Chains A and B, each alone.
Chain A
């Protein structure tokens, strides 16, 4: 039997040893996403009906490329945190939960790196 009180057990970094890290990163990326998604919607609207050359031309602009890089990083970070909560809420088996959490990280990273590579390749000259 532990002599520690329930409050004592969760003080400091708590049982998961990451403290409020998840909450804080979720909010931080949420706030970053607001201006970034306004840019992204504007970018997509202006790309409506554009051919490949037009899109390459737009992404060649370093400012556009940089904003896309920021957006991809912030959004994929945010979506990984969000999906983690969904998995932890609904997947209860330890093994399947671990696999889902790993898959979530791999998927989010793959989306991020694919997006970043595509933007940089286009921006550096197709």
Chain B
């Protein structure tokens, strides 16, 4: 890389000098929810495995899920899933080259947040109604 033209290019300034913007926070949250879902999926598979394992094993896992802490984890899991899925849809739209102007990009970010909260609530209402 001795004579590379890359060497002279300016480095991008450090993140901390920026005022937090909505689209920037959405990008960060997309990554955090993705990482959370990574471990959430292990939880789901653990639940499936407990069903396959035995009644006593299932009772332990179900006891955790049924507790207030378990429900809180599950609520966070649901919201992260919906938020990440909607964020993914935005990324797929951007992949087609659309939705990049400032008005649309801001609108998409707000719609993503609103829809993720509304859909999470609807899923939980449906779950409690199904019981």
Contacts and interface: CB of A to CB of B under 8 A. Distances in A.
Interface residues of B, number: 35
Contact of B48 (A1, A46, A119): A119
Interface of A: 1, 6, 27, 30-31, 33-34, 37, 41, 44-46, 48-49, 52, 55-56, 59, 68, 72, 75-76, 79, 82-83, 86, 107, 111, 114-115, 117-119, 121-122, 126
Interface in B73-124: 78, 81, 85, 88-89, 91-92, 95, 123
Nearest to A76: B41
A56 B50 CA distance: 11
Interface of B: 2-6, 31, 34-35, 37-38, 41-42, 44-46, 48-49, 51-52, 55, 58, 78, 81, 85, 88-89, 91-92, 95, 123, 126-128, 130-131
B35 A6 contact: no
B92 to A, nearest CB: 7
Contacts of A83: 34-35, 38
Interface of B is mostly: helix
A115 B48 contact: yes
B81 A41 contact: yes
A41 B51 CA distance: 18
A34 B90 CA distance: 12
Given A48-B130, A72-B45, 19 more contacts: A6-B4, A6-B5, A6-B6, A27-B92, A30-B88, A30-B92, A34-B88, A41-B81, A46-B130, A49-B130, A75-B41, A79-B37, A79-B38, A83-B34, A86-B34, A86-B35, A111-B41, A114-B48, A118-B48
A59 B85 contact: no
Nearest to A47: B130
A8 B88 CA distance: 32
Nearest to B2: A1
A40 B37 CA distance: 14
Contacts of A111: 41-42, 45
Contacts of B37: 79
A47 to B, nearest CB: 8
9 contacts: A6-B4, A30-B92, A34-B88, A34-B89, A37-B85, A45-B126, A82-B35, A86-B34, A115-B49
